[in-house]
Structure 1
Amino acid sequence: MQRILASSEFRASTRRREMLQYLVEETLSGRAHALKGYAIGVSVFRRGEDFDAQSDPVVRLEARRLRRDLASYYVLEGRDNPLRISIPKGHYAPEFQRATPPAHQPGQAAPVGEASEPSGHESNPVALSAARQRSASVGRNVWLAAGAAAVVLLALLVGWIAVQPGPVADERVLADARGPSVMVFPLVAAGETEKDAALAEGLASQIVTELSRFSDFRLYLPPAGHGRDPEEDPLAIAKPLGVSFVLTGRVESDGATIKITSRLSDVATGRVIWVQDFDRAAAVESLLMLQNEVAGAISSALGQPYGIIKTQITNGLPDDFRPSMPSYECVLRAFSYRRSFSAKSHGPVFACLKAAVERDPQYADAWAMLGWLYLDAGRFNLTADAARAYDQGLDAASHAILLDGRNVLALTVLASIHHYMGNYAESEQFQRKALELNPNDPDVLAQLGWRLAARGRFDEGIPYLKQAIERTVNPPAWYYHFVAIDHYLHGRYVEMLDAAKTGAIGESGASWSFIAIAYGALGDKRAAKAALERMAEVAPRTARDPAAFYRLHGTIESTVQALVEGLRKAGWTGPEGS
């Protein structure tokens, strides 16, 4: 508690600091049962003896804010604290929890990142992944400095990881509600040079490290004694173990070029669902840079919210929503909903996530996605009390952070809600922390770029958005919105139209407004009129008052006025002053 109170990153008010100290000390003194609203109001908030906790909500409101203060603290300075203090919703007595997950159960196979540690050390999947990354970097730097001798270091490193066994036989992609399982096989060094062997070994290690940044993946390497013989069939190894996907690859050089091939296969069907080739000059300046580039590209393609694996699973989901739907399926459907933000999909997805967190209360990703749905209820007028929806969204995302202080999805949700509440500095801080934790997630890049552009910082934001688009197979429409606006503000109307059309989806009033603006600027009145009619059809609120819609999303006033002027040129005839 004293560590928290002394931290500059703990941004609670003086009174909430007093509240934290009071709650902790009363609990440690054995009086947790007496922590009621009345006692806290009198002792902490200096209310009189006639204080009524029902009519005066100060204790409830400040407890909610204190929960968020704690969640924010554990994102930043407190992320490595071995003990965490939390205040459960609906209660005032704090709980004290170790930051690391429970030890692996005897008899279960250990995935990558959950291998048994030496006595006296707790196993933390995130920390272990980071340690491996540092170890891999050290090994690779030694190799770069000392030549072939470091090949042994890399082989030992990957060999150590590879002895961790695969999953138990009854695991399936949705069985434990926590995401797909992927077995990463060592890459085959098809060439005969030491460079090929070292790069193949290093890539296997780095791909595991980069994929581990995506919280909902269960990663495995082949069981001991398997996976290193190029004549073995990876599917035959993985299928009895219940793995969903296998990632294989090869490295080959011919003196002039280095060719790296990576392949993802669906274990159940045996079908190859993704192949990517990387051709680079053999005289590449740094094999370490090449290794990081390729591993980052592979992990980004596979792990991102709109990437190969999640798209493959989502396409196979049934059309109907069921009360017993697995929790991970709810999260996937939430991502799918967030492509279009369809109002009719919001209710079923929201109900699915609510059931998921009740059924699986330790599932941080489900809590984070629930935060998104609360935000959308507030900003898209799906509830009469937007402020309360934002508060509930913050609560859900903060709870996800308490469960997993490095959860990138939860950090992004917190950033988005703070943006819509007008807390732009806090929003940027959370989003940059998310980017620091996973620079290979295009959605994280897009979120940061979108918000920077909304605040008029196009020079900073647009490159992030373009990176996100380049790294996504099928980007959501909103990735293109501020790219289109940037083209418009610079007079590039053809480019604006192209970006707006690329990002156009059926129910997006924003997309159709940008198409109308582009056609208006190009002088195509008939096409502009058609786009305006489509905007009015799918988003009547936006059509009535587009300025209010743009402002809702935190867009600075100069951009808002430029867009409204463009709509008027396209033929929009809304009231003056809008």
Structure 2
Amino acid sequence: MPPADQVRDALERILASDVFARSERARDLLRYLVEQDVAGNADRLKGFSIGVDVFHKDDQFDPATDTVVRVQAGRLRDLLQQYYEGDGASDPLRISVPRGSYVPEYHVADSTVACVASAATPEQNDVGKTANRRALPFLAIGLLLLAVLGGVAGYRSFAPPSPGSADVQGVQRAAAPFGFSDTTGSVPGDLLPSVYMSVEAGDYGGERIAAAVRRGLSGFDTVHVIAPPMQPGESGKVRRTDFLFLIGQASTPGEVHVELQNVSNGKVVLSRNLAIADRDQRAIEDIVADLLTTVASVSGVLYADLAENRAETPLARCLTLNEAFYRDQQADAHRTAYECFEDLRNARVSSALIYAELAALHMQSIVNRYDYPEQASEQQALDYARRAVQLAPSSPSAHRAMGYVLSRTANLSEAMRWVHKAYALNEFDLSMAASYGYALIFAGDYAAGTPILHRAVMAASAHPTWWDYGLFLGRFMLGEMEAASSAVSPLASSDRAHYLAARLVVAYELGDREKVDALLGRLRAGNSAFAANPEAFFRKGNYPESLTNRLVETLRAAGLMGAS
């Protein structure tokens, strides 16, 4: 944490600015959060205490039903962003309040690394300590963090089809509703699809879903969330990129109906009944996380609808091209995505997403030795990532990109800290959770990574099989063989060598000799190279030493190696 006098100086500059002059509540809230943190009372920064101390609620205040603290915190984050895009652009120390927390963070403007508040959560401290104990090569963690960068792509196969890179280029050239001149100088929200909400279910269940949807959507920096509901008579202002979440009662008791509509044409993009009877808050948040991962990510139904209707903004088009590259990493797809973001940057469009994706793509050009851009450098990738964090200190995408860049230029613990922060900023993105859990498992931290990956697998209505495989690895190393058996069940239809090996390991550990013999036969018949030397596969994949040794030992005991 920076010196207290520097923090207080930064605070007073913010409070004295024109941006904050119009909001007494935001000034009171920010002063309270920072002063409590500086005084060492970060553990007091909870919804209840803030409601009582700042907004003068009585001791019956319930932050779960009274949203004043969450609403004002969201307003505060918006004002901080406005301040740092204007009067505070040159401030040497920046203050942010990340989504999902009320503990301030402090960022030194000319430093690569954000100075996180000293009162980090025990989970954050444990992750940092664990990462420091690991000596995973940079290439290994770089590949894992690439899974984080492209992790959402695995979800696309369960969303409605969207154009491939060639089709998207056609959309870009042919029928865009906005030109660069329309967006130059615009705030980022103008470049993204907007999501409004309308809550028609007045019961407690509907309000719980609505609160979770609002909170979850605010973590996705791929959409612009509009808090006030869309008012009648504003039809003339409707854009083709406006969407509306309708939350109402379902016909079945104990369920809430959720519907996503394209406002411009009335098309229902998604419709679900959410069963919430007897569900606790965490279970409801997991239901909403599945919903929002399906909707709000670039691989989700919302962006697919934009592409289908040729209604993408320039930034949305670039994000879709970027998604196409991570699904099929070819040099031409990389250049198309890179040039798209460059066009926006050259048009002086200000968005953390632009610089975050430029940072990752720039690093990809180095890793994969692409010809474009010429003279790519790690320093340039780092500059892009730093700019993304400066533009939006609470952006998951900015933190994710910084983690990837640092995996190539700094130490593992620092890279993992940034990726952990990206996950913490948006726990409603199940693909991010799965990728972070997977990365922890491949860093050898099975106890930390397995529960995170388990939550993603259990919450998602559909997911790629690498989630199940990663969960198997974690369960196996924790000695939880019954749970490992459940994890490999979805792999039964695949003939991939490492999936067959996972099922073989489980069958051997559970004493199922008939299944062991059948799987040995399939591995030897169709995967002879793996069967002859599985250790080479695991080492090439940068599996942790402990995991490699135990897998090889078990496969040998099962009869895979050394048998005719």
Cα distance change, pair 246–82 in 1 and its aligned pair in 2 (3 A): same
Match of 2:274 among 278, 281, 285: 278
Cα distance change, pair 201–253 in 1 and its aligned pair in 2 (3 A): same
Match of 2:245 among 225, 241, 247: 247
Match of 1:186 among 188, 193, 199: 199
Q: What is the root-mean-square deviation in Å for CA atoms of aligned residues?
A: 5.7
Provide the residue aligned with 2:302 in structure 1. 309
Cα distance change, pair 473–259 in 1 and its aligned pair in 2 (3 A): closer
Q: Secondary structure at the match of 1:182?
A: strand
State how far apart, in whole Å, the 1-side matches of 2:336 and 2:561 are.
Answer: 35
Match of 1:514 among 483, 498, 502: 498
Cα distance change, pair 204–562 in 1 and its aligned pair in 2 (3 A): closer
Provide the residue aligned with 2:353 in structure 1. 365
1:249 deviates by 1.4
**TM-score w.r.t. length of structure 1:** 0.55
State how far apart, in whole Å, the 1-side matches of 2:59 and 2:285 are.
Answer: 14
Q: Is the 8 A contact 2:497 2:527 kept in 1?
A: yes
Q: Is the 8 A contact 1:185 1:221 kept in 2?
A: no
Provide the residue aligned with 2:508 in structure 1. none
Q: Is the 8 A contact 1:184 1:221 kept in 2?
A: yes
Q: Secondary structure at the match of 2:266?
A: coil
Q: Secondary structure at the match of 2:199?
A: coil
Return the letter of the residue paired with 1:528: L
State how far apart, in whole Å, the 1-side matches of 2:227 and 2:350 are.
Answer: 26
Provide the residue aligned with 1:212 in structure 2. 218
Superposition pairs for residues 128-527 of structure 1, below 5 Å? 138=51, 145=60, 176=183, 178-189=191-202, 196=203, 200=206, 203-204=209-210, 206-221=212-227, 226=232, 240-242=237-239, 243-251=241-249, 258-281=254-277, 298-313=291-306, 326-339=314-327, 341=329, 345-380=333-368, 390-419=378-407, 423-472=411-460, 474-476=462-464, 478-486=466-474, 498=489, 512-515=496-499, 517-518=501-502, 522-523=516-517, 524=519, 527=522
Q: Secondary structure at the match of 1:405?
A: coil
1:454 deviates by 0.7
Q: Is the 8 A contact 1:449 1:464 kept in 2?
A: yes
Query: Could you say which structure has the larger radius of gyration?
Result: 1
How big is each residue's C-alpha offset from its partner over 1:500-542, in whole Å with a ceiling of 9 and x where there is no partner? 578x8xxxxxx9452353477645466436764899xxxxxx9
State how far apart, in whole Å, the 1-side matches of 2:551 and 2:447 are.
Answer: 18
Q: Aligned pair 1:528/2:518, yes or no?
A: no
State how far apart, in whole Å, the 2-side matches of 1:513 and 1:378 are.
Answer: 30
Cα distance change, pair 365–145 in 1 and its aligned pair in 2 (3 A): same
State how far apart, in whole Å, the 2-side matches of 1:480 and 1:281 are.
Answer: 28
Gaps spanning 5+ residues in structure 2: where? 34-45, 75-175, 184-189, 506-515
Provide the residue aligned with 1:22 in structure 2. none
**TM-score w.r.t. length of structure 2:** 0.56
State how far apart, in whole Å, the 1-side matches of 2:525 and 2:15 are.
Answer: 56
Return the letter of the residue paired with 2:300: G
State how far apart, in whole Å, the 2-side matches of 1:388 and 1:225 are.
Answer: 49
Q: Is the 8 A contact 1:181 1:217 kept in 2?
A: yes
Q: Secondary structure at the match of 1:188?
A: coil
Q: Aligned pair 1:549/2:544, yes or no?
A: no
Q: Is the 8 A contact 1:450 1:461 kept in 2?
A: yes
State how far apart, in whole Å, the 1-side matches of 2:295 and 2:16 are.
Answer: 27
Gaps spanning 5+ residues in structure 1: where? 9-76, 85-97, 104-116, 162-169, 190-195, 227-235, 319-323, 505-510, 536-541, 574-578
How big is each residue's C-alpha offset from its partner over 1:185-218, in whole Å with a ceiling of 9 and x where there is no partner? 12333xxxxxx2x554565455334312222322
- Determine which structure has greater relative contact order: mean sequence separation of CA pairs < 8 Å that are 6+ residues apart, divided by chain length: 2
State how far apart, in whole Å, the 1-side matches of 2:325 and 2:439 are.
Answer: 20
Q: Percent identity?
A: 16
How big is each residue's C-alpha offset from its partner over 1:88-131, in whole Å with a ceiling of 9 and x where there is no partner? xxxxxxxxxx899997xxxxxxxxxxxxx76266989x98xx9x
